[in-house]
Amino acid sequence: MALATGAQAQAKKYTIALVPGLTTDAFYITMRKGAEAAAKAIGADLVFQGAPEFNPVQQAPVLDAVIARHPDAILIAPTDKTQLVQPLKKAADAGIPVVTVDTFIGTGDYQTGAGDADFPLSYVASDNLEGGRIAARALATAIGDKGKVYVSNVKPGVSTTDQREEGFKEEMKKHSGIQVLGTQFNDDDANKAASQLQSVYARNSDLAGVFGANLFSAIGAANGVQQAGQSGKVKVVAFDAPTTIVGNIKSGLIEAAIAQHPAEIGYYGVLTAYAHLTGQSVPTKIGTGFTVLNKANIDKPEDARFVYQN
């Protein structure tokens, strides 16, 4: 807030670009709202430009176009922790500070002097390992601490969902009555996730639960549960909380949703970039929180405010 208060004293008006993982997802729309609030507070211009799909092949040319506009800083949610290293290096080489939000490149450990992906200034995001652990605990409670479960995930190589799966499996090792089956990768296709759920259930009639590591995985798995006639029997814990998930929680199709705080990510991302641009040091990692949404609190304003805006 001190940064925002001091904005009037700055002669230069900065332009900060936000490149989301994709433009149509409620998570990134909510992140944009937080970023716009911060930009307004500090008197900066915010440019929002992204691809329609979470895909490095589509994101790279968007990033090139943003770099060509030469903003004062770039916030980006990289769609692959390896494939976006060199495209982002172009920004750094052009003298444009980079802050990654939500997802990261390399290991997410920046400014270490090690490796070729440590050049971003900071990583602003949820602690996705902890988010996976929270999801595991919620699912373990829902299934009475026994039975077979699996992770419905996007694809290997996406930093956030990799970590959520890792945290989930790490936590589940503490629950001896639960067997974790092989992960199913759905390429961010909800229909594929639904089909995979039915296939897993066909092979395991005692399937007790599934963790959807992102929105499409969770919605798809929930649809698969419904199509298999197992609503309320096979428990689904979702990561992310768009408005579409509220009805599923109320109906019991989805047991719980782990809501991130994307508006905070966007807000602190902008303030981090601004702090650097105005000569202040910034932390290399900034963590934001979670809210677990379920039937007990989905209608409570203090919790329901964390449902993503679309």
Q: Are residues 158 and 199 in the same domain?
A: yes
> Does some domain include residue 36?
yes
Q: Are residues 12 and 154 in the same domain?
A: no
* H or E stretch at 56: helix 56-68
Token readout for 275 is 């702090």
Quick one: 188 and 265 in the same domain? no
For residue 117 the two structure tokens come to: 């992906």
Read off the tokens for 32: 């944009």
Q: What is the pLDDT of residue 7?
A: 46
CA angle (115 as vertex; 287, 47 as ends), nearest 5: 50
Q: What are phi and psi of 225, to 5 degrees?
A: -60, -45
**What is the CATH classification number for the domain harbouring 63?**
3.40.50.2300
CA distances in angstroms from 232 to 136, 151, 225, 253, listed in the order given: 17, 18, 9, 6
Percent of the chain with pLDDT over 70: 96
The structure tokens listed for 96 are 């444009």
| Integer Cα distance of 189 and 54 in angstroms | 11
Same domain, 265 and 255: no
Same domain, 199 and 96: no
Q: What is the predicted pLDDT for the residue at 3?
A: 52
What's the pTM?
A: 0.84
Residues 216 and 241 in one domain: yes
Please tell me whether residues 159 and 299 are part of one structural domain.
yes
Answer yes or no: do 299 and 170 share one domain. yes
Q: Same domain, yes or no, for 144 and 51? A: no
Determine the structural domain holding residue 277 and report its residue range: 2-126+261-290
Six-digit token string for 45 = 């211009």
* Contact criterion met (CB below 8 Å) for 142 and 209: yes
Q: Is residue 310 part of a domain?
A: no
Q: For position 112, what pLDDT does the model report?
A: 94
Structural domain contains residue 234 = yes
Geometric angle at alpha carbon 45, from 40 and 50, rounded to 5°: 110
Q: Tell me, yes or no, whether 153 lies in a domain.
A: yes
**Does residue 309 sit within a domain?**
no
How many independent structural domains does the chain possess? 2
Q: 143 and 247: one domain? A: yes
> What stretches in the chain show pLDDT beneath 70?
1-11
Tell me what pLDDT residue 159 has. Answer: 85
Q: What is the pLDDT of residue 115?
A: 87
168: phi then psi, degrees, rounded to nearest 5: -60, -50
Residue 10 is predicted with a pLDDT of: 53
